[in-house]
Structure 1
């Protein structure tokens, strides 16, 4: 959840006078980080890790209700207490961390995974199972750690156990009590300071799912409360007709997600990986969709992202460039002269996003800020110093606001460690104010501490996070410390440990494949923005198309990936039909007239590689979940290099997620990149032909089924969690075609979700995971 410091947090009105101090010293700390690490780290291992967030839910089977548990957060202290249960965590290589909600816990591996070890990709699921088991062991049987992205009835009447009323001063929410907020002083202060900086509550409006008896107004908004001045906001412009209205940070930061962090060997590799994953972020948001219900309403979208974005949106009216509510201050809680007004001469912004002639008392320009501090990235880091060198300036096409003072400082830095792209990246992050400052941490040692930098860095919650190392004492062995990392943040949490392991492995293996094969995924940032909006739509994974690099412009030879479909696993694991008279095995490709096809022979043939029986790969996945063998092999031309002068219309096209993940006639698909990586880099060299190790075979079969899950979700053969939950509501006898989820229906959804998590109801498991994965899991439940 970000930087957790001990001390006395300052109220917004006391802390804002230190904003420039934090920014100035934070950048000094960043410069020192670059001086210590940018050139000295050139061969860090590919290590990675995941973060899983759980909700603690109390279940009352007698009265048929399920509610968020807000009085068992002591287990976090116990699981981190050496005198209590810390040894239980460490003995299982698990660590538990606080999250925004008092009902939430976050769990990670205690040590990162080795990205070069095939065993560690299987161990991920084992570790996730341990996390759930350990947390459950600290709880009564009727309280379960659940991996739902959103709790369906958060904000509806009594939805917590024990019950609490929404009368708290931190959030001033009409729906959420402050008792749901983590007890650490950072969290209620963060909640209150966002509201005070903004000078009004956050306002989140989601379109209602239209049904026969759906009302056009959110009738859950209380009309007669007069506790805070903000109680009037939904009636003076904060709420929208036809939408579900939410007014608190908890609605977003109280949702759960799955995040993956990978370490590059050096800063340049990490920059290229960051850029390459940027177009993947909306694809994986759509593919992991799991949030169709908010505040007891079915909504007309499938994911949480814009809810979390809105929940921490601290921008004032002028920063959002909108008219304030009646009698509200245009400048909100900014540190400005009380007489400041916006005149016609100020209605112009410069190239940095600054309003003309408007400044805070500290001299910082007041800016037009198009996005919340929780949103998609605004610019690539550029691979200009990496071997690929695909980046072109035209790809950064949305001109986000930057802090000119900080940009100039980084560019003018004598060490010359910051090129314009890196300088703009950090200068954009540092347009934000620090939201929580601890009085004891105002003054820091910039040579050894980096809390001021992290104060800004960790409260820019974007789809990707570029994570520099920390500062260390001189003569520290840096090889044993975290290096340059990329955090992948858009994915929604899934119901089972198997699914979460599958998605985690997919991103980590894809990242390693990107580093190895060096595809060119660059498209304009504006098209990624458009894809993020598309990803929110109902069933976008199968109904929508997404902008992506034209599948024949990846700078890959699709012929190099022949045979690396899902059937590779069977050919590698099963000796027999693949064996030739000379004793060789063609596990890595397909034969032509009884001979192995090599690259030279391919280039002499005409036509194109047929990787499926249709223009998309949907028919190439057989009923067994394996891609059908290629039955026609011919020339696979090298895709046009990124340096070629091609019109953007030929480079970027719209594709289904199925095409991007599973491939087309022209392109191997992301899964084939992963499978070739496994075959060529992760399988032990001693087993280059058929697998002779039972343990290796067991691991590969598990990984194969992870990829089958991803493949079948992409093709629509199995539903997303969002589709499944929506279907459960629409088909339930407890649903009244009014877009509302009652407490009894909420109980049923939670119980069904747990049955899937526990693999205890075969029918429900098949609905979510499909026939192939379910059959495998029920017969191979142990990892």
Structure 2
């Protein structure tokens, strides 16, 4: 979720006193890194995924399931059995936001050879098995994005009031209209903030307590990292809609399928002044977005003309960076991140060696939770310039999670090999982000996408490079497309990302086993995009709708929740088939293994 350190955390009042100190020294730390490593080239592709897990306990007798607040204990056990006794252990475990959450990654990053794709699912299965092995009876590790049934003080203290999260209710046949919640023991704040026909939530945990799937790539240079950052930013809403997996909140069926806006609201620490509700008096800026949102500016030169969002920046920081030789695009990116305050600060981490440490920079950088993250190398390490792809929702099975990860990693290889250009005005990407979160956006949504993505004019697949050839105005360069068209292609409109990936694979030397694995992953993505297979969100909705206890009133009871989570657990363990989600004949006994069933 960001910079998770151990130490003595300061209160918000104490943290606020050091805000300028953190910003000032964070910029110094960034400058040290930039000066030392701006000319670093020829780093090889390395990449890794991050899977977040929820720990749950099933009460089979009473047909209830609850989150288990044992993350710290489980984490300690996993680390003691793994990396602490073997530095080359195949898995790594890290803390996550909630005490019922843990995060698992590969022990070492994957490399640049195609055969690495053949090991992703095996590693994810190892992680699941490791975590499950240290749990107690009737406890399970689940990869669900949001826990259907029904936290952090510094967010609330900085904001000056509770966060407000209003998610539209799904209107079923028996859902009250208007749907209005009542809040026992309410001091009036909930009744005031809640809206008719919306599900109301008022704490950071409702957002940051959700789980996700992320991928980080090492680029060969800073310029390649900036190019990938921009290109992938346009893909974020598409993959988010494809991975949609969170239709339920606080015991209700919502009218959205993705967690993004919920988390965005849950960590929105902007004051009333910063949100434009009161005149600026105690704050410096009007800030248009939460600190958890889509990116606000492209970083590469080819992206500059598409930067059409007003960017709020710290002008003093911007001018300092320009003076130190940082180019305009990177300087405004950093100066925009640094309009935020540090949210947490540890007593032991106040005074640092700016030439050899980067905690103050990371304090601000890692609490700007955007769809993409541009990551400078840590000081004194062999790690290069990286980008992090952050919008994906976690899937039920290791097969699905592997498929989404491999799809994105493969896409980065194709972008760089074919010099593809997905750039459109950033305001259109923001519009796509809103569409992507809507119910059944995969089948119903229309997304702005570039028509001619082969800016070099290379016709890498039929239909690529034949649209506008880069000569049109902005309005002619992009159009509205369905996700099916974007992913699978449509003759005369767009070649499709899957056909381009297949073309790339045909030109690569890939062993038969790896090729089979990759093609199975791409089949899942292809069939999810076409609607032939359901997204997790759509499957969950249909499961609830068909449950004998569901009264078509948008309410998820304890027993319904139990049934859903138990089914999710069985599917993840390979103990139940789910053809609507995974395809007919998916090997239920070995759902963690490769399959030709799609």
* Partner residue in 1 for 2:125: 129
Find the counterpart in structure 2 of residue 179 from structure 1.
none
RMSD: 2.1
Deviation at 1:30, TM superposition (A): 0.4
Cα contact 2:449–2:478 (8 A) shared by 1: yes
In structure 2, the residue matched to 1:234 is 190
> How far did residue 278 of structure 1 move?
0.9
Q: Which residue of 2 aligns with 1:676?
A: 503
- Deviation for aligned residue 1:751: 1.2
Equivalences for 1:354-433 in 2 at 5 Å? 355=280, 358=281, 360=282, 366-382=284-300, 384=301, 390-393=302-305, 395-413=306-324, 416=325, 418-433=326-341
Contact 1:705 1:773 (8 Å CA) reproduced: no
The yes-or-no answer on 1:296 pairing with 2:296 is no
CA apart distance, 1:92: 4.4
Q: Deviations over 1:490-525 (max 9, x none)?
A: 000000000000000000000111111111111001
Q: Are the equivalent residues in 2 in contact too, given 1:501–1:706 (CA < 8 A)?
A: yes
| Structure 1 position 554 matched with structure 2 position 459 | no
Give the deviation of 1:121 after TM superposition. Answer: 0.6
Q: Work out whether 1:771 is the aligned partner of 2:561.
A: no
User: Aligned with 1:400: secondary structure?
Assistant: coil
Shift in CA distance, 72/11, structure 1 to aligned 2, threshold 3 Å: closer
Task: Report deviation, 1:470.
Answer: 1.2
Q: C-alpha distance in 2, partners of 1:730/1:266?
A: 50
Aligned to 1:654: 480
Paired residues of 1:555 and 1:638 also in contact (CA < 8 A): no
1:689 counterpart residue number = none
- Is 1:286 the counterpart of 2:241 in the alignment? yes
Q: 1:452-511: per-residue Cα shift (whole Å, max 9, x none)?
A: 000000000000000000112xxxxx6xx1111110000000000000000000000001
Q: CA deviation at 1:755?
A: 1.9
User: 2:34 maps to which residue?
Assistant: 34
Q: Give the alignment partner of residue 523 of structure 2, picking from 674, 694, 708.
A: 708
Return the match for 2:211 from 229, 239, 256.
256
In structure 1, how many angstroms separate the alpha carbons of the residues matched to 2:16 and 2:235?
A: 37
Give aligned pairs, total.
595
1:52 corresponds to 2:13: no
1:412, CA displacement in angstroms?
A: 1.0
Q: How far, CA to CA, are the matches of 1:256 and 1:221 in structure 2? A: 28
CA distance in 1, matches of 2:593, 2:163: 47
What is the CA–CA distance in structure 2 between the aligned matches of 1:23 and 1:247, rounded to whole Å?
29
Contact 1:89–1:95 (CA under 8 A) maintained in structure 2: no
Partner of 1:23: 23
Q: CA deviation at 1:8?
A: 1.9
The 1:729–1:248 alpha-carbon spacing in structure 2 relative to 1, beyond 3 Å, is: same
Residue 746 in 1 paired to residue 561 in 2? yes
Q: Distance in 1 between matches of 2:595 and 2:535?
A: 24
* Residue aligning to 1:312: 267
8 Å contact kept, 1:467–1:485: yes
Matched, 1:447 2:403: no
1:596 is matched with none
Q: Secondary structure at the match of 2:320?
A: helix
User: Could you tell me which residue of structure 2 aligns to residue 149 of structure 1?
Assistant: 145
| Shift in alpha-carbon separation, 1:36–1:745, aligned structure 2, 3 A | same
Distance change >3 Å, CA 513–CA 89, structure 1 → 2: farther
Contact 1:271-1:381 at 8 Å conserved across structures: yes
Question: Which residue of the other structure, out of 507, 514, 519, is the alignment partner of 2:408?
Answer: 507
Q: Work out the CA distance in 2 between the residues paired with 1:193 and 1:26.
A: 20
Rounded Cα–Cα distance in structure 2 between residues aligned with 1:215 and 1:26: 51
Match of 2:433 in 1: 532
For the Cα contact (< 8 Å) 1:558–1:668, is it kept in 2? no
Report what 1:760 is aligned to.
Answer: 575
Tell me, yes or no, if the aligned pair for 2:47 and 2:109 is still in contact at 8 Å. Answer: yes
More displaced stretch, 365-374 vs 741-750: 365-374
Residue-by-residue CA offset, 1:59-106 (whole Å, 9 max, x unaligned): 12122111101135301012223xx45467756410000001110010
Alpha-carbon distance between aligned partners in 2 of 1:732 and 1:503, rounded to the nearest angstrom: 29
| Mapped contact 1:206–1:299 kept (Cα < 8 A) | yes
In structure 2, what is the equivalent of residue 587 of structure 1? Answer: none
1:737 is aligned to 2:552: yes
1:584 aligns with none
Verify the 8 A CA contact 1:263 1:270 in the aligned structure 2. Answer: yes
Structure 2: tracts of 5 or more residues without a match: none
Matching residue of 1:626: none
Q: 1:428 aligns to what SS in structure 2?
A: helix
From 458, 464, 469, the equivalent of 2:366 is 458
Q: 1:250 to 1:775 in 2, by over 3 A?
A: closer
Question: CA separation in 2, counterparts of 1:104 and 1:637?
Answer: 45
Gaps of 5+ in 1: 157-170, 172-190, 226-230, 323-329, 331-341, 343-354, 385-389, 473-477, 563-608, 610-635, 684-695
> Under a length normalisation based on structure 1, what TM-score does the superposition of the two structures give?
0.73
Within 5 Å, which residues of 2 pair with 1:170-185? Answer: 171=151
For residue 96 of structure 1, what is the aligned residue in structure 2?
93
Alignment check: 8 A CA contact 1:54 1:146 kept: yes
1:111 pairs with 2:12: no
- CA distance in structure 2 between the aligned counterparts of 1:781 and 1:505, rounded to whole angstroms: 13
Sort the Cα spacing of 1:47 and 1:756 in 2 relative to 1 into closer, same or farther, 3 A. same
1:4/1:401 CA distance change after superposition, 3 Å: same
**How many Å separate the matches in 2 of 1:79 and 1:109?**
13
Structure 2 vs 1, CA of residues 637 and 719 (structure 1 numbering), >3 Å: closer, same or farther?
closer
Listed as ranges, the matches of 1:591-630 within 5 Å are none
SS in 2 for 1:734: coil
> CA contact under 8 A between 2:92 and 2:105: conserved in structure 1?
yes
* Higher-RCO chain (CA-CA 8 Å, sequence separation at least 6): 2
Distance in 2 of aligned mates of 1:774 and 1:488: 30
Partner of 2:423: 522
1:194 aligns with 2:155: yes
> How far 1:261 moved relative to its partner?
0.6
SS of 1:113's partner is coil
Relative to the length of structure 2, the TM-score reads 0.95
1:727 aligns with 2:553: no
Which protein shows a greater Rg?
1
Tell me if the contact between 1:396 and 1:524 (Cα under 8 Å) persists in the aligned partners.
yes
CA deviation after TM superposition for structure 1 residue 5, in Å: 2.8
Partner of 1:333: none
The Cα shift of 1:218 comes to: 6.4
Partner SS state of residue 714, structure 1: helix
CA contact (8 A) 1:33 1:471 kept: yes
The aligned residue for residue 583 of structure 1 is none
| Cα separation, 2, equivalents of 1:707 and 1:132 | 23
**Within 1, Cα distance between the matches of 2:228 and 2:574?**
36
**Alpha carbons 1:217, 1:243 under 8 Å: kept:** no
Looking at structure 2, the residues matched to 470 and 637 of structure 1 have their Cα atoms a distance apart, in angstroms, of: 39
CA contact (8 A) 1:319 1:369 kept: yes
Q: Find the aligned partners of 1:90 and 1:719 in 2 and give their Cα distance.
A: 40
Is structure 2 residue 363 aligned with structure 1 residue 490? no
